């Protein structure tokens, strides 16, 4: 039985060292020494996850709940904890400092500073928290958290609280855990990687590697009702470059909707969102149609759900999301936001994984088992190397209100979770926006000394003020990040925890995928997937884009639907 304190020490060590090779060794040594049950748990804990990604379970611990549990354990006010989080910018550090107060007071009462709680017990308390529901569940959750905090040292509380919010902040990603498993149990990294793709569960992979070695890993397979990660797409430079890279391509419309993975297990249909959340209950009409259309006992399919407006064109993405998140009034919403489903891939049928078959083969199998119905269709696909034909398909997709086209390598395998060169997307280039940077946020872990995210605003010339439209952190390379940090350090007006406010001096050129209506930002609009293109050193803050231009671009992008 391993103490949670040992796990906390591993995290502490990793936090202190910069190199990934050393990190891999620390993790692999730890994985090798713990027992089987602990191995399953730690394979998730070390990435800040309490449960595997395919699982419906999540801790479901909001910040207030956590602050309350910390405050009660430490005998201080919730507001004190909140202030500490704001000042320290980290719930872990706030929990540690809060509990230190308690420890000081309790020393005289022989309060134990040493941990006496095991990894398994921590996991089991989190499971209790995740499964408690209904009346009294909030207090049950707080009690469980209080129990945990009362039985760990302040240093361990750092990781208990970070696990509670599933953000361990020690910079350990899937790749590192994969390498550590391979090293700990002396198996090929590729086999570990493959096992992970099929099971979506590093715990299962670690246990199999330990108990059954390479042979066991090769036998791992996809399981129905355990979602696998979605295969992802890359942006292509142009149709020409895609064809010159791949040759003949399988061309499909890039539907403007949301991804779903469908699992049919006899009469039982389950739908998972792109983030692998179970969204079945909010989409009953799709479940019904799938039951009518799919002619196989067990099957896993990939597709895109589109919300269709009265004009026959896709509704904006946020409308569609209202369907995905809905718990009540589902019947009424079916009429307000009707859905269609376009199926484009198949990964599994009747006990057999199909991911190692080429796309063309998978597509043939898919076609045999799907019966096109109104609102549920097999996505049309053309295999061609003719750029003129592709251009025509692209234009037809755009005029139907969709996003563009996907150009897929016909011989490619289905690679879960991978953003490779086998699926390329072609989309129109959006006009860019020049926006003033009015705030920022310090990074995390190894990037804590850099300003990693920047708050963007457009101008409201009438009221002589700035209106927020979003934040950007993508598209900035390491060198730029250092340079930007140096420049913006001179412009800080206020600093609260990790949040910074700047004098509005610098203008960024920003690319994005879409402008959405949003109540989160004062402009009333938000940029979807904003990307930094560069500093517009030639522009002064007064020359930045205005709210009127944001509005115009919103209308121009053609996603305004007729309700
Ligand atoms: P992006 O979200 O821009 O990275 O583009 C990839 C997404 O396009 C996928 O995750 C799907 O949700 C969506 N998509 C729409 N049509 C297709 C299609 N025919 N094949 C694959 N993905 C598609």
521 lines ligand 1 (CB under 6 A): no
Distance from chain centroid for Cα 192: 22
- CB atoms under 10 Å from CB of 374, counted, come to 7
Q: Which residue has the higher pLDDT, 209 or 174?
A: 209
Pocket test for ligand 1, best of 255, 414, 419 (most atoms within 8 A of CB): 255
Q: Percent of the chain having pLDDT more than 70?
A: 96
Return the residue whose CA atom lies nearest to atom 11 of ligand 1. Answer: 259
E strand or H helix that includes residue 420: strand 419-426
CA dist., res. 471 & res. 475, Å (int): 12
> Looking at the DSSP assignment, which residues form a beta bridge with residue 459?
466, 546
Residues 312 and 275: beta-carbon distance below 8 Å? no
Give the Å distances, CA to CA, from 381 to 279, 312, 317, 342: 27, 21, 24, 11
Pocket test for ligand 1, best of 227, 229, 257, 259 (most atoms within 8 A of CB): 259
- Residue 558 has what pLDDT? 53
Mean pLDDT across 28-56 = 96
Return the percent helix, strand and coil in the chain, to nearest 5: 45, 25, 35
290 lines ligand 1 (CB under 6 A): no
82 in catalytic set: no
345 lines ligand 1 (CB under 6 A): no
Q: Which residue has the higher pLDDT, 105 or 447?
A: 447
Return the residue whose CA atom lies nearest to atom 22 of ligand 1. Answer: 254
Say how many Å lie between the CA of residue 477 and the centre of ligand 1: 26
- Residue 3 has what pLDDT? 96
> Looking at the DSSP assignment, which residues form a beta bridge with residue 457?
436, 468
Q: Which residue has the higher pLDDT, 60 or 271?
A: 271
Express each pLDDT in 395-425 by its tens digit: 999 999 999 999 999 999 999 988 889 999 9
Do the strands 352-353 and 339-349 form a parallel or antiparallel pair, or are they unpaired?
Answer: antiparallel
Express each pLDDT in 304-340 by its tens digit: 999 999 889 999 877 888 898 788 888 889 999 999 9
528 lines ligand 1 (CB under 6 A): no
CA dist., res. 333 & res. 326, Å (int): 9
Is residue 317 marked as binding? no
Mean pLDDT across 31-59 = 95
Residue whose tokens read 């960024």? 508
142-151, 207-216, 317-326, 481-490: lowest mean pLDDT where? 317-326
Whether this model's pTM surpasses 0.75: yes
What is the phi-psi region of residue 292: left when phi exceeds 0, alpha when psi lies from -120 to 50, beta otherwise?
alpha
pLDDT tops 80 at residue 518:
yes
> Looking at the DSSP assignment, which residues form a beta bridge with residue 265?
268, 298
Residues 224, 295, 346: CA angle, nearest 5 degrees: 50
pLDDT tops 70 at residue 109:
no
Q: Mean pLDDT for the chain?
A: 91
Delineate the domains of the chain, giving CATH numbers in brackets.
49-164 (1.10.3260.10), 232-426 (3.30.470.30), 433-556 (2.40.50.140)
Mean pLDDT across 524-540 = 89
302 lines ligand 1 (CB under 6 A): no
pLDDT tops 60 at residue 294:
yes
The model's confidence at residue 86, banded by pLDDT at 50, 70 and 90, is: confident
Distance from chain centroid for Cα 145: 26
Could you say which of 183, 229, 254, 427 is catalytic? 254
E strand or H helix that includes residue 494: strand 492-496
Distance from chain centroid for Cα 152: 30
Say how many Å lie between the CA of residue 485 and the centre of ligand 1: 34
Residues 145 and 65: beta-carbon distance below 8 Å? yes
CA dist., res. 384 & res. 247, Å (int): 8
386-416 in b/e form (b: 16+ CB < 10 A) is ebeebeebbeebbeebbbbbbbbbbebbbbb
170-179, 345-354, 387-396, 535-544: lowest mean pLDDT where? 535-544
467-505 in b/e form (b: 16+ CB < 10 A) is bbbbbbbeebeeeebeebbeebeebeeeeebbebebebe
Mean pLDDT across 348-371 = 97
Return the residue whose CA atom lies nearest to atom 16 of ligand 1. Answer: 254
Mean pLDDT across 285-292 = 97
pLDDT tops 90 at residue 207:
yes
CA dist., res. 317 & res. 528, Å (int): 10
Shortest-distance atom of ligand 1 to CA 256: 15
The model's confidence at residue 446, banded by pLDDT at 50, 70 and 90, is: confident
CA dist., res. 69 & res. 356, Å (int): 48
Is residue 72 marked as binding? no
- Residue 111 has what pLDDT? 45
Is residue 49 marked as binding? no
Express each pLDDT in 535-559 by its tens digit: 988 888 988 999 999 998 887 765 4
Q: Which long-range contacts (CB under 8 A, 24 or more apart) does 449-453 make?
A: 449/485, 450/481, 450/482, 450/485, 451/481, 451/484, 451/485, 451/488, 451/489, 451/500, 452/481
259 lines ligand 1 (CB under 6 A): yes
In 205-248, at which residue ranges do the beta strands (DSSP E only) sit?
232-235
pLDDT tops 60 at residue 34:
yes
> Quick one: tokens of 205?
């992979």
CA dist., res. 172 & res. 159, Å (int): 14
E strand or H helix that includes residue 130: helix 119-131
Shortest-distance atom of ligand 1 to CA 513: 3
344 lines ligand 1 (CB under 6 A): yes
- Residue 104 has what pLDDT? 61
Q: Which residue has the higher pLDDT, 369 or 311?
A: 369
- Residue 560 has what pLDDT? 37
The model's confidence at residue 105, banded by pLDDT at 50, 70 and 90, is: low
E strand or H helix that includes residue 221: none
Q: Is the CA virtual torsion 122, 128, 131, 137 positive or negative?
A: negative
> Quick one: tokens of 83?
């202030």
Do the strands 419-426 and 232-235 form a parallel or antiparallel pair, or are they unpaired?
Answer: parallel
Picking from 71, 88, 89, 72, the residue whose alpha carbon sits closest to that of residue 80 is: 71
Residue whose tokens read 């507001």? 79
Provide the CB-side half-sphere exposure for 379 (13 A, CA): 28
Is residue 304 marked as binding? yes
> Looking at the DSSP assignment, which residues form a beta bridge with residue 3?
118
CA dist., res. 438 & res. 346, Å (int): 46
């Amino acid at each position: 039985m391993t103490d949670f304190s040992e796990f906390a020490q591993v995290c502490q060590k990793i936090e202190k060292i910069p190199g990934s090779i050393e990190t891999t060794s620390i993790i692999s040594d730890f994985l090798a020494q713990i027992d089987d049950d602990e191995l399953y748990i730690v394979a998730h804990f070390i990435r800040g996850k309490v449960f595997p990604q395919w699982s419906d379970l999540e801790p479901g611990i909001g910040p207030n709940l956590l602050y309350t549990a910390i405050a009660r354990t430490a005998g201080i006010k919730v507001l004190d904890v909140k202030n500490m989080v704001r000042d320290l910018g980290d719930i872990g550090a706030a929990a540690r400092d809060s509990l230190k107060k308690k420890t000081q007071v309790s020393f005289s009462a022989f309060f134990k500073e040493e941990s006496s709680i095991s990894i398994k017990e921590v996991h089991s308390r989190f499971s209790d928290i995740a499964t408690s529901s209904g009346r009294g569940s909030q207090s049950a959750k707080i009690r469980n958290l209080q129990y945990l905090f009362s039985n760990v040292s302040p240093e361990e509380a750092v990781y208990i609280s970070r696990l509670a919010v599933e953000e361990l902040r020690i910079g350990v990603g899937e790749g590192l855990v994969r390498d550590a498993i391979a090293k700990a149990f002396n198996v090929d990294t590729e086999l570990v990687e493959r096992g992970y793709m099929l099971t979506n569960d590093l715990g299962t992979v670690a246990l199999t590697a330990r108990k059954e070695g390479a042979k066991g890993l090769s036998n791992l397979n996809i399981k129905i009702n355990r979602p696998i990660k979605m295969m992802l797409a890359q942006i292509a430079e142009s149709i020409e470059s895609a064809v010159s890279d791949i040759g003949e391509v399988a061309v499909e419309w890039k539907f403007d909707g949301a991804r779903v993975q469908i699992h049919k297990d006899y009469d039982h249909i389950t739908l998972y969102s792109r983030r692998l959340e179970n969204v079945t209950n909010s989409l009953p009409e799709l479940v019904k149609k799938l039951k009518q259309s799919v002619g196989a006992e067990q099957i896993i399919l990939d597709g895109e759900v589109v919300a269709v407006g009265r004009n026959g064109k896709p509704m904006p993405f946020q409308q569609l999301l209202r369907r995905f998140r809905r718990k009540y009034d589902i019947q009424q919403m079916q009429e307000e936001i009707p859905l269609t489903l376009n199926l484009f891939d198949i990964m599994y049928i009747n006990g057999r994984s199909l991911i190692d078959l080429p796309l063309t083969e998978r597509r043939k199998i898919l076609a045999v088992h799907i019966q096109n119905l109104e609102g549920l269709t097999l996505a049309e696909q053309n295999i061609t190397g003719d750029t003129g034909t592709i251009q025509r398909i692209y234009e037809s997709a755009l005029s139907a209100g969709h996003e563009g086209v996907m150009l897929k390598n016909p011989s490619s395998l289905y690679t879960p979770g991978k953003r490779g060169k086998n699926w390329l997307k072609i989309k129109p280039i959006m006009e860019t926006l020049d926006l003033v940077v009015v705030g920022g946020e310090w990074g995390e872990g190894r990037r804590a000394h850099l300003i990693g995210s920047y708050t963007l605003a457009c101008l409201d010339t009438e009221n002589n003020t700035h209106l927020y439209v979003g934040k950007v952190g993508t598209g900035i390379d390491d060198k730029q990040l250092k340079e930007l940090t140096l420049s913006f350090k001179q412009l800080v007006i206020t600093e609260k925890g990790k949040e910074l406010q700047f004098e509005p001096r610098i203008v960024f050129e920003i690319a994005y995928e879409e402008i959405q209506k949003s109540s989160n930002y004062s402009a009333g609009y938000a940029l979807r997937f904003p990307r930094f293109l560069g500093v517009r050193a030639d522009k002064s803050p007064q020359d930045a884009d205005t709210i009127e231009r944001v509005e115009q671009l919103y209308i121009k992008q053609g996603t305004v639907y007729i309700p």
